[in-house]
Amino acid sequence: MDMQAQETLRSRFGFDSFRPGQLELVDGIVGGRDVMGIMPTGAGKSVCYQVPALMLPGVAIVISPLVSLMHDQVNALVSNGIPAAYLNSQLTPSQQHEVMARALAGEFKLLYIAPERFDDPRFASFAAEAPISLVTVDEAHCVSQWGQDFRPSYLRIASFVASLPKRPPVAAFTATATPRVADDIVRLLEMREPVRVVTGFDRPNLRFEVHQLTDKRKLARIASYALEHAGDSGIVYCSTRKEVEGLHEALVGAGVRATRYHAGLTKAERTANQKAFVNDDAPVMVATNAFGMGIDKSNVRYVIHHNMPGSLEAYYQEAGRAGRDGEPAECLLFWNDSDIATARFFIEQETENEALTREEAEVVRSAQRRRLAAMTGYCMTTDCLRAAILHYFETSHESTSPASSCGNCSNCTDEVDAVDVTLTARAIMRCVHELRGRYGKGVVADVLRGSHNEKVRQFGLTNAKTYGILDESAATVKEIIELLVAGEYLEVSEGRYPLVGLGPRAREAATDEFRLHMKRVRKPAHAKPAKAASAKNVSSTAATLETGEQRELFERLRFLRKQIADGEGVPPYVVFSDAALRGMCVALPKTPDEFLAVSGVGQVKLARYGKVFLAEINR
Ligand code: ADP
Ligand code: MG
């Protein structure tokens, strides 16, 4: 069975070997077991059900939340010569009828659907007759209310499976890590003792950077980054529609080929902009978090966050859209104080809208505050950024503890000082305790610094025991307060006036072991001295190649790929990934056999593109 799986992977997808976890899941499905795969974005979850779909008789049903996602995945399969189709409301009734008839006739190995299909009685009668080999649930966290993208229609998957005359294996895949969501998936999909595979969450090809910048400098940095990487595709996330509009306009004005996406645009505009991005016509996408779940684009070389998101879960999912092809990619997070204030504001807002009791709302809010604290902790930490992320996700799954220095994040490579601010922090804790959580950051700082301002006098705070015990700038005191909030020693409640009170870990700050360090960046090590990538329109993947000839070849092959893709009406990464193009530049294949040996080249792609690509390589 393993041999057959390997052979399928090689001949149909052109990959030499399975990545960690893939074979175990393939074996599980082919052996008739239910399986659940929890793997980070870009790990290669699709192959885990696509290979079994090819090995098993009949047609695999793939449930996927978004229409756009289906379209791209089917495109990618068809380009590998794998018979696949999708059924959704974008097809006319007669087209739908045709797809089902062809599926019944055994013409497809995979059929993608959205769960909304379960409303259609014609689909129900189709499913009752079709030889269904497997039911795959992609983005399976959508079934859980604890997940970020809950879709009520996912709750109907279990009854759909139960209605089938013969129960096929059920396979669920997600990148969302928490055990609570994982348990929900098993329960709500009524899975039977699934084989569970949880791979590590590390993405070694991603470089992480965090920079504290004013709004104005954020804009300048993003514009210059995009211009320096004009040959690369990237996503820039903003927290509001207004910021998307402003940043998009500024980038276009600066000469960046950018497009935009947010829920305020018409559906037609969103579709057109997404298409321009996926096809590399507008390689830079400026968007809110509404953009991305439906995107499998493998050659996204950078993801920049113009604002800090509300949780590390959201951050890692969004940042993880970079570098799916395994080639080097960068994840940059820019933040400042106002991002923290905005995130606090969102927490208050969201829970107001829901039909929850007051206690329930408070439970939700405190969970959100904890997630926000972890996110701000990531922004402020002086430790390895990768280790911080992995620690956050992996402690819940009992994986091995990550190394403490990765050498590929801004904290590991820049000159970062960790200034010991323990004494100041202790003074702040005492002051907040004394003021009993009734004042905001500004007043706490004023009291500690012995300010004579009106508020302090009016509240009679000049008599406080902690009055005037610190000799620090107000900005520093406020920054250390935020650091204490990130560590959950303090808490900020966001009412009309944000008040600083003691947090769940306040007691720990009073112990002898307590230490607090503040990040000071002495000198950012400029990772990329103006090398090849600074030349206009040269991709950073090409820049990783050794010789000038290889780099030039890469650009020629990229151009050829774009021409072919436009001719066929598919995204360029569907023709060949960046990783495959780089493989060609390194191996310089001369014969069809050598071309086939390049990772990402299968039989069908050899037959389709071998000739033109070999001609270009040998030129
Ligand atoms: P996920 O759904 O987990 O985010 P995908 O299934 O979209 O990830 O795969 C991400 C990328 O990895 C794709 O470009 C895919 O072709 C590639 N990939 C998957 N499995 C392998 C493998 N065994 N060897 C090489 N590349 C792979
Ligand atoms: Mg996927």
User: Mean pLDDT, to the nearest integer, of 194-204?
Assistant: 91
Contacting residues for 475 by C-beta, under 8 A, at least 6 apart: none
| 395 lies in the same domain as 443 | no
Tell which of 389, 415, 441 closes a domain. Answer: 415
| 210 lies in the same domain as 187 | no
Joined together, the tokens standing for residue 3 give 């041999």
Tell which wins on pLDDT, 25 or 415.
Answer: 25
Q: Residue 297: nearest ligand to its CA?
A: 1
DSSP 167: P
User: Mean pLDDT, to the nearest integer, of 423-436?
Assistant: 96
| 36 lies in the same domain as 164 | yes
Q: How far is CA 405 from CA 313, 319, 412, in A?
A: 21, 20, 6
Chain position carrying tokens 């400098």? 217
Give just the sign of the alpha carbon dihedral 325, 600, 29, 166.
positive
CA nearest ligand 1 atom 18, residue:
44
| 483 lies in the same domain as 561 | no
Percent of the residues in the chain that have a pLDDT greater than 90, as a whole number:
74
Main-chain dihedrals φ then ψ at residue 376, nearest 5 degrees: -70, -30
Dihedral over alpha carbons 146, 148, 153, 158 (to 10 degrees): -50
Residue 330 resides in a domain: yes
Q: What is the CATH number of the domain that holds 479?
A: 1.10.10.10
How far apart are the CA of 493 and the centre of ligand 2, in A?
37
Q: For residue 302, what pLDDT band results from cuts at 50, 70 and 90?
A: very high
CA nearest ligand 1 atom 25, residue:
15
Main-chain dihedrals φ then ψ at residue 35, nearest 5 degrees: -140, 150
Q: Residue 37: nearest ligand to its CA?
A: 1
How far apart are the CA of 218 and the centre of ligand 2, in A?
31
Residue 535 resides in a domain: no
Specify the number of domains making up the chain.
4
Residue-level pLDDT at 524: 67
| 501 lies in the same domain as 363 | no
Letter for the amino acid at 122? R
| 57 lies in the same domain as 184 | yes
- pLDDT per residue as tens digits for the range 37-59: 999 888 899 999 999 999 999 99
Q: What secondary structure, in 3-state letters, does 130-166 show?
A: CCEEEEEECCHHHHCCCCCCCCHHHHHHHHHHHHCCC
Residue 78 resides in a domain: yes
With 0-12 / 13-18 / 19 or more C-beta atoms within 10 angstroms meaning exposed / middle / buried, residue 92 is exposed
Percent of the residues in the chain that have a pLDDT greater than 70, as a whole number:
94
Q: Side by side, which strands form the sheet with 84-87?
A: 84-87, 110-113, 59-63, 132-137, 170-174, 35-38, 195-198
Given a cut of 50, whether residue 530 has pLDDT beyond it is no
Residue-level pLDDT at 610: 95
Q: What is the CATH number of the domain that holds 17?
A: 3.40.50.300
User: Would you tell me the crossing angle of helices 358-380 and 385-394 to the nearest 10 degrees?
Assistant: 150
Residue-level pLDDT at 350: 66
Q: Residue 138: nearest ligand to its CA?
A: 2
With 0-12 / 13-18 / 19 or more C-beta atoms within 10 angstroms meaning exposed / middle / buried, residue 177 is buried
Given a cut of 90, whether residue 323 has pLDDT beyond it is yes
Q: How far apart are CA 405 and CA 274, in angstroms?
A: 37
| 386 lies in the same domain as 362 | yes
DSSP 1-57: -HHHHHHHIIIII--SSPPTTHHHHHHHHHTT--EEEE--TTS-HHHHHHHHHHHSS
User: Mean pLDDT, to the nearest integer, of 523-535?
Assistant: 51
- pLDDT per residue as tens digits for the range 65-111: 877 778 888 989 999 999 999 999 889 999 999 999 999 999 999 99
Tell which of 151, 171, 198 closes a domain. Answer: 198
Residue 529 resides in a domain: no
DSSP 384-437: -HHHHHHHHHHGGGTPPPPPS--SSBHHHHSEEEEEE-HHHHHHHHHHHHHTTT
Residue 82 resides in a domain: yes
How far apart are the CA of 459 and the centre of ligand 2, in A?
57
Ligand 1 neighbourhood includes 236 CB (under 6 angstroms): no
CA nearest ligand 1 atom 14, residue:
325
Main-chain dihedrals φ then ψ at residue 371, nearest 5 degrees: -65, -40
Pocket probe mutation, ligand 1, options 15, 575, 576, max atoms within 8 Å of Cβ? 15
Residue 523 resides in a domain: no
Pocket probe mutation, ligand 1, options 10, 11, 19, max atoms within 8 Å of Cβ? 19
DSSP 527: S
Ligand 1 neighbourhood includes 199 CB (under 6 angstroms): no
- Beta-strand pair 300-305/329-335: parallel
Given a cut of 50, whether residue 534 has pLDDT beyond it is no
Q: What is the largest CA-CA distance in the chain?
A: 86
How far apart are the CA of 551 and the centre of ligand 2, in A?
30
- pLDDT per residue as tens digits for the range 535-584: 556 788 888 888 889 999 999 999 999 999 999 999 999 999 999 999 99
Residue-level pLDDT at 395: 63
Ligand 1 neighbourhood includes 296 CB (under 6 angstroms): yes
Q: How far apart are CA 239 and CA 361, in angstroms?
A: 23
Given a cut of 70, whether residue 129 has pLDDT beyond it is yes
Residue-level pLDDT at 392: 87
Tell which wins on pLDDT, 86 or 393.
Answer: 86
Beta partners for residue 301, in sequence order: none
Tell which of 469, 498, 515 closes a domain. Answer: 515
| 212 lies in the same domain as 346 | yes
Q: Side by side, which strands form the sheet with 233-237?
A: 206-212, 329-335, 300-305, 233-237, 284-287, 258-261
Residue-level pLDDT at 405: 86
Residue 539 resides in a domain: no
CA atoms within 13 A on the CB side of 187: 8
Contacting residues for 148 by C-beta, under 8 A, at least 6 apart: 141, 176, 313, 314, 317
Given a cut of 70, whether residue 139 has pLDDT beyond it is yes
User: Would you tell me the crossing angle of helices 45-55 and 22-30 to the nearest 10 degrees?
Assistant: 30
Q: For residue 531, what pLDDT band results from cuts at 50, 70 and 90?
A: very low
Given a cut of 70, whether residue 357 has pLDDT beyond it is yes
Q: How far apart are CA 183 and CA 175, in angstroms?
A: 14
Residue-level pLDDT at 532: 42
Ligand 1 neighbourhood includes 313 CB (under 6 angstroms): no
DSSP 296-337: --TTEEEEEESS--S-HHHHHHHHTTS-TTSS-EEEEEEE-H
| 392 lies in the same domain as 441 | no
Main-chain dihedrals φ then ψ at residue 302, nearest 5 degrees: -155, 150
Mean pLDDT of the chain: 91
Residue-level pLDDT at 529: 45
Which among 322, 340, 319, 339 has a CA at the least distance from the CA of 385? 319
How far apart are the CA of 261 and the centre of ligand 2, in A?
21
How far apart are the CA of 540 and the centre of ligand 1, in A?
20
- pLDDT per residue as tens digits for the range 70-79: 888 898 999 9
Contacting residues for 282 by C-beta, under 8 A, at least 6 apart: 257, 258, 259, 273, 276
| 133 lies in the same domain as 220 | no
Joined together, the tokens standing for residue 604 give 């069908």
User: What number does the ligand 1 atom closest to the CA of 18 have?
Assistant: 23
Chain position carrying tokens 């290669």? 44
How far apart are the CA of 43 and the centre of ligand 1, in A?
6
| 486 lies in the same domain as 462 | yes
Which among 154, 153, 152, 145 has a CA at the least distance from the CA of 173? 154
Ligand 1 neighbourhood includes 39 CB (under 6 angstroms): yes
- Beta-strand pair 329-335/415-420: unpaired
Which among 488, 412, 462, 495 has a CA at the least distance from the CA of 209? 412
579-607 b/e (C-beta count within 10 Å ≥ 16 → b): bbbbbbbeeebeeeeebbebbbbbbbbbe
User: Would you tell me the crossing angle of helices 267-278 and 67-79 to the nearest 10 degrees?
Assistant: 30
End-to-end CA distance of the chain: 42
Parent domain of 584: 545-618
Q: Residue 55: left (phi > 0), alpha (psi -120 to 50), or beta?
A: alpha
Ligand 1 neighbourhood includes 19 CB (under 6 angstroms): yes
Pocket probe mutation, ligand 1, options 18, 25, 47, max atoms within 8 Å of Cβ? 47
Letter for the amino acid at 186? V
Beta partners for residue 330, in sequence order: 207, 302
| 78 lies in the same domain as 172 | yes
**To which H or E segment does residue 444 belong?**
helix 441-448
Contact (Cβ atoms closer than 8 angstroms) between residue 555 and residue 578: no
Residue 359 resides in a domain: yes
